[in-house]
Amino acid sequence: MNRIVPPIKSQGIKTKLAAWIASVVPPFAGRWIEPFVGTGAVAFNLAPQRALLGDINPHAIGFYQAVAAGKITSEIAETYLRAEGDKLRTRGEAHYYAVRDRFNLRHDPLDFLFLNRACFNGMIRFNRSGAFNVPFCRKPNRFAPSYVTKIVHQIAAAAALLKANAYVFACQPFEQTLAGATADDIVYCDPPYIGRYADYYNGWDEVCEHRLFDLLDGAPCRFILSTWHHNAHRSNGYVRALWGKFPVLTKDHFYHVGARETNRNPMVEALITNFAP
Q: What is the pLDDT of residues 100-131, one digit of tens each?
A: 999 999 999 999 999 999 999 888 999 989 99
Query: Which domain, by its residues, includes 111?
Result: 74-159
For 209-255, how does the pLDDT look when each residue is reduced to its tens digit (9 = 90+)? Answer: 999 999 999 999 999 999 999 988 899 999 999 999 999 999 998 65
Do 181 and 217 lie in one domain? The reply is: yes
Query: Are 153 and 176 part of one and the same domain?
Result: no
- 222, 28 Cβ separation under 8 angstroms: yes
Residue 62 lies in a domain: no
Examine residue 251 and state whether it is found in any structural domain, yes or no.
yes
Q: Integer distance in angstroms from the first to the last C-alpha of the chain?
A: 19
Calpha distance 124→113 (Å, rounded):
11
**Biggest alpha carbon–alpha carbon distance for the chain:** 57
CATH for 32: 3.40.50.150
Contacts of 259 (CB under 8 A, 6+ apart): 120, 121, 123
Query: Last residue of some domain: 128, 159, 190?
Result: 159
Note whether 51 and 130 are same-domain residues: no
Q: Is 188 within 8 Å of 38 (Cβ atoms)?
A: no
DSSP classification of residue 88: H
One-letter amino acid for residue 229 of the chain = H
Is there a single domain that holds both residue 111 and residue 239?
no
Q: Is residue 63 part of a domain?
A: no
Do 110 and 146 have their domain in common?
yes
**CATH code of residue 97:** 1.10.1020.10
Let me know if residue 3 belongs to a domain. no
Residues 153 and 177 reside in one and the same domain: no
Total domains in the fold of the chain: 2
Last residue of a domain, one of 130, 159, 188: 159
Looking at the structure, do residues 208 and 260 belong to the same domain, yes or no? yes
Residue 246 belongs to a domain? yes
Helix, strand, or coil here: 24?
Answer: helix
The residue ranges of the chain whose pLDDT is under 70 are 197-202, 254-265
